[in-house]
Amino acid sequence: MKHEIKNIYGAVLFTADVPEGTESGLIARVALEQAVADGANLDGAYLDGAYLRGANLDGAYLRGAYLDGAYLDGAYLRGANLDGAYLRGANLDGAYLDELSGIWGASGNLREIKAIQCDIWPVTYTATHMQIGCQLHTLEAWWTFSDAEISRMAGEALEWWRKWKPVLQQIVAMSPAVPGGEKPAEQAEAA
C-alpha cells in the first residue's frame, strides 16, 4: 500500500510502499525509514504523534519537521538534521542522539533536547552537544575553546561568548538534558 509523508501544508514529500498487513501503528515508521534510506528531503514533514519507536533514522533530514507528540523512544538518530524541528511533547526517551548533524533552532522537548534564545543566537543542547547558531560541538569542546577559536566562528562571536559562556555553563549545569540512548548493538557492530 502507498503511504504519503506530507508537510504541514499537505504537499507530498515522499510516497512509500508499505507492505500490506503492516500494523497501523507502524505505517509511519516504515514509510519514514524508507524515505530516509532513499535520502528523501523531509524538510517540514508533518509527523505529529507518529509512533517511531526504535526507528533507524540515521542521517535523516528532518529540518523543520513537526514532531509534536511523536514517540521516538529508542530511535537511532545518528547524523539526523533536526534544525528547526518542533519537538515539544516528543518522547525521545532512549533515542540515540549523539552525533546529530544539526539541532539549530529546534524547539526541543524539554528533556533530551533543550533550547533557548540568547540575544542574536539560538542555543540548543543535548546531554553531550550544543549548537549555537550554525556551530555544533560537544559541550566539552565549547567549554575549552580558546578566544581565537571562538573569534573564527563569527564576527561578533567572541564578545557574545564572553557574555554568555558563564550563563550557558550555569544553565546546562542547573538544567541538564537527559542523555539519549546507547548506540544500538547492531549499529555499534557496523561502526
Write the pLDDT tens digit of every residue in 5-23.
998 889 999 999 999 999 9
Predicted local distance difference test score (pLDDT) of residue 173: 97
* Range of the structural domain that residue 105 is part of: 2-186
**Cα distance between residue 158 and residue 66, in whole Å:** 33
Residue 125 lies in a domain: yes
H or E element in which residue 190 lies: helix 185-190
Minimum mean pLDDT range among 88-102, 115-129, 156-170, 173-187 = 173-187
Residue 108 lies in a domain: yes
Q: Average pLDDT over the chain, rounded to whole?
A: 88
Residue 191 lies in a domain: no
The 3-state DSSP class for residue 147 equals helix
Residue 93 lies in a domain: yes
Residue 175 lies in a domain: yes
**Cα distance between residue 150 and residue 161, in whole Å:** 8
Predicted local distance difference test score (pLDDT) of residue 187: 46
> Total structural domains in the chain?
1
Predicted local distance difference test score (pLDDT) of residue 191: 47
Residue 28 lies in a domain: yes
Residue with cell 542555543: 123
H or E element in which residue 171 lies: helix 157-174
More confident residue, 4 or 181: 4
The 3-state DSSP class for residue 143 equals helix
The 3-state DSSP class for residue 167 equals helix
Residue 63 lies in a domain: yes
Q: How distant is the alpha carbon of residue 10 from its chain centre?
A: 23
Kindly state the average pLDDT of the residues 116-132: 93
**Ramachandran region of residue 50, left (φ > 0), alpha (ψ -120 to 50) or beta?**
beta
Kindly state the average pLDDT of the residues 40-56: 89
Residue 140 lies in a domain: yes
- Model confidence at 185: pLDDT above 60: no
